Amino acid sequence: MRRVEKPWGYELWWAVTDKYVGKLIHVNQGHSLSLQYHVKKHESMYLISGQAEILLDGETRAFHPGEAIVIPPPTKHRVTAVTDIDVIEVSTPELDDVVRLEDRYGREGTSNP
Protein backbone atom coordinates (compact mmCIF):
# COMPACT_ATOMS: atom_id res chain seq x y z
CA MET A 1 0.00 0.00 0.00
CA ARG A 2 1.26 3.47 -0.87
CA ARG A 3 0.30 6.69 0.95
CA VAL A 4 0.33 9.83 -1.22
CA GLU A 5 0.14 13.15 0.65
CA LYS A 6 -2.05 15.83 -0.93
CA PRO A 7 -2.67 19.48 0.06
CA TRP A 8 -6.28 18.54 0.90
CA GLY A 9 -5.54 15.25 2.74
CA TYR A 10 -4.08 12.00 1.40
CA GLU A 11 -4.66 8.95 -0.79
CA LEU A 12 -3.95 5.32 0.10
CA TRP A 13 -3.33 3.38 -3.12
CA TRP A 14 -4.35 -0.17 -2.21
CA ALA A 15 -4.41 -1.63 -5.75
CA VAL A 16 -2.54 -0.53 -8.89
CA THR A 17 -2.82 -2.92 -11.83
CA ASP A 18 -2.87 -2.66 -15.61
CA LYS A 19 -6.69 -3.06 -15.46
CA TYR A 20 -7.77 -0.90 -12.49
CA VAL A 21 -6.65 1.27 -9.56
CA GLY A 22 -8.15 1.28 -6.05
CA LYS A 23 -7.67 4.18 -3.64
CA LEU A 24 -8.94 5.36 -0.30
CA ILE A 25 -9.16 9.15 -0.49
CA HIS A 26 -9.25 11.18 2.74
CA VAL A 27 -10.22 14.85 2.36
CA ASN A 28 -9.96 17.19 5.34
CA GLN A 29 -12.98 19.28 6.32
CA GLY A 30 -13.38 22.40 4.19
CA HIS A 31 -10.98 21.22 1.49
CA SER A 32 -11.69 20.29 -2.14
CA LEU A 33 -10.15 18.25 -4.90
CA SER A 34 -9.42 20.06 -8.16
CA LEU A 35 -12.20 20.85 -10.59
CA GLN A 36 -11.05 18.36 -13.21
CA TYR A 37 -11.94 15.97 -15.96
CA HIS A 38 -10.29 12.98 -17.60
CA VAL A 39 -9.85 12.14 -21.28
CA LYS A 40 -9.80 8.33 -20.80
CA LYS A 41 -9.95 7.61 -17.06
CA HIS A 42 -13.30 6.29 -15.79
CA GLU A 43 -13.90 6.60 -12.03
CA SER A 44 -16.38 5.26 -9.50
CA MET A 45 -16.53 6.74 -5.99
CA TYR A 46 -18.18 5.40 -2.84
CA LEU A 47 -18.44 7.69 0.19
CA ILE A 48 -17.61 5.69 3.32
CA SER A 49 -17.88 8.43 5.93
CA GLY A 50 -18.48 12.14 6.40
CA GLN A 51 -20.53 14.69 4.51
CA ALA A 52 -19.50 16.00 1.11
CA GLU A 53 -20.67 17.93 -1.90
CA ILE A 54 -19.94 16.84 -5.43
CA LEU A 55 -19.93 19.05 -8.51
CA LEU A 56 -20.76 17.11 -11.68
CA ASP A 57 -20.86 19.02 -14.98
CA GLY A 58 -21.86 22.30 -13.33
CA GLU A 59 -24.41 20.94 -10.83
CA THR A 60 -23.56 20.70 -7.13
CA ARG A 61 -25.35 18.28 -4.84
CA ALA A 62 -24.90 16.49 -1.53
CA PHE A 63 -22.84 13.29 -1.51
CA HIS A 64 -23.91 11.03 1.37
CA PRO A 65 -22.25 8.05 3.11
CA GLY A 66 -23.23 4.81 1.40
CA GLU A 67 -23.74 6.53 -1.95
CA ALA A 68 -21.82 5.61 -5.10
CA ILE A 69 -21.18 7.89 -8.06
CA VAL A 70 -19.90 6.89 -11.51
CA ILE A 71 -17.83 9.52 -13.33
CA PRO A 72 -17.25 8.69 -17.00
CA PRO A 73 -14.86 10.79 -19.10
CA PRO A 74 -14.98 13.73 -19.81
CA THR A 75 -17.31 14.67 -16.90
CA LYS A 76 -16.09 17.78 -15.07
CA HIS A 77 -16.12 17.06 -11.35
CA ARG A 78 -14.94 18.13 -7.90
CA VAL A 79 -15.51 16.74 -4.40
CA THR A 80 -15.63 19.12 -1.42
CA ALA A 81 -15.49 17.87 2.18
CA VAL A 82 -18.14 19.47 4.41
CA THR A 83 -16.69 17.33 7.23
CA ASP A 84 -13.65 15.04 7.07
CA ILE A 85 -14.50 12.39 4.47
CA ASP A 86 -13.23 9.00 3.33
CA VAL A 87 -14.01 7.89 -0.21
CA ILE A 88 -13.20 4.63 -1.98
CA GLU A 89 -12.30 5.29 -5.61
CA VAL A 90 -11.92 2.57 -8.23
CA SER A 91 -10.84 3.68 -11.68
CA THR A 92 -9.23 2.64 -14.90
CA PRO A 93 -5.42 2.81 -14.61
CA GLU A 94 -4.68 6.14 -16.33
CA LEU A 95 -3.24 7.83 -13.21
CA ASP A 96 -1.76 10.80 -15.12
CA ASP A 97 -4.98 11.55 -17.04
CA VAL A 98 -6.03 14.66 -15.10
CA VAL A 99 -6.97 17.97 -16.70
CA ARG A 100 -7.25 20.50 -13.86
CA LEU A 101 -9.58 23.40 -14.58
CA GLU A 102 -9.38 24.99 -11.12
CA ASP A 103 -7.11 24.16 -8.21
CA ARG A 104 -7.13 25.93 -4.84
CA TYR A 105 -3.57 24.82 -4.14
CA GLY A 106 -1.81 26.19 -7.25
CA ARG A 107 -0.75 22.81 -8.59
CA GLU A 108 0.69 22.46 -12.09
CA GLY A 109 -1.57 21.35 -14.89
CA THR A 110 -4.34 23.79 -13.99
CA SER A 111 -5.78 25.50 -17.04
CA ASN A 112 -8.60 27.87 -17.82
CA PRO A 113 -11.80 26.19 -19.06
In 3D, which of 26, 4, 18 has the Cα closest to residue 89?
A: 26
Let me know: does 20 contact 92? Beta carbons within 8 Å. yes
* Residue 107: partners with Cβ closer than 8 Å, 6 or more residues away: 7, 34, 100
- Looking at residue 107, what is its pLDDT? 84
Work out the mean pLDDT of the chain and round it to a whole number. 95
Domain parsing of the chain, residue ranges: 2-102
* pTM of the predicted model as reported, rounded to 2 decimal places: 0.91
Quick one: fold of 2-102?
A: Jelly Rolls (2.60.120)
The tens place of each residue's pLDDT in the chain, 113 residues long, gives 999 999 999 999 999 999 999 999 999 999 999 999 999 999 999 999 999 999 999 999 999 999 999 999 999 999 999 999 999 999 999 999 999 999 999 887 655 44
